[in-house]
Amino acid sequence: MLHVSMVGCGAIGRGVLELLKSDPDVVFDVVVVPEAQMDQARHDVSALAPHARVATCLSQADGRPDLLVECAGHHALEEHIVPALERGIACMVVSVGALSEPGLAERLEAAARRGGTQVQLLSGAIGAIDALAAARVGGLDSVVYTGRKPPGAWKDTPAEALFDLDALTESTVIFEGTAREAARLYPKNANVAATLSVAGLGLDHTQVKLLADPGVDENVHHVEARGAFGGFELTMRGKPLAANPKTSALTVFSVVRALGNRAHAMSI
């Protein structure tokens, strides 16, 4: 049985709890949320993981879970993941886009080394991460990511100040540049670009184009990679989470799969 603590109980966290509530091999012990979200989190957790305690931090008194999974956003890595790694707690991270912050990836790795444990970056809304990471071994020349989402998915981002998103009638490029800049400007939308960068050429050498497209009702991810291994192209059309159109439902499924791989007798 895998004892799990989780940081975050928003759309992703609730989705994970819902899908795993009947899995006898995964038990949630603690769900960590900010003080302002405690009442709502207690209500949600009581229905989905009734044995879990809701807290504002993972304290020493909670013991050491087998795993801490982050589903809370970029701020949670410094506040919760780094200290947990230093305590020797293995961690899974959804908010890979946070690694665009200079030095954060190094701090995570150093904390994991000090704790004698490991931090796993989850694939989230994109596939072929195994193929891309394997291709890097042989030598990658280029990785280009194009993200296409409905205009509403870009609200509350810098695109809203540059374009009238509700009035768009055709596909519009809202950003073009490196993955590092994309992750900085669009942190809630560019985790895919950051994940591809970590697996491939890095944040400064992965090219990104982001589009607001009124002609789609899905989150469309296209990856093109070339190198000594040959080349591949991948297009994925992910349904957005009903509770958060900035996030693909596949992100939730990737967390559930990763936890299942840790807890079940067979993994893939």
CB neighbours of 267 closer than 8 A, spacing ≥ 6?
260, 261
Closest CA to 113 of 89, 92, 86: 86
Catalytic residues: 221
Is 28 in contact with 6 (CB distance < 8 Å)?
yes
Does the annotation place 52 within a ligand binding site?
no
Closest CA to 236 of 218, 209, 216, 254: 218
Sequence length of the chain is 268
Does the annotation place 191 within a ligand binding site?
yes
Is 72 in contact with 48 (CB distance < 8 Å)?
no
Is 263 in contact with 6 (CB distance < 8 Å)?
no
User: How many beta carbons lie within 10 A of that of residue 194, not counting itself?
Assistant: 28
Task: Please enumerate, by residue number, every residue annotated as part of a binding site.
Answer: 125, 191
* Residues of each annotated binding site for NAD(+): 125, 191
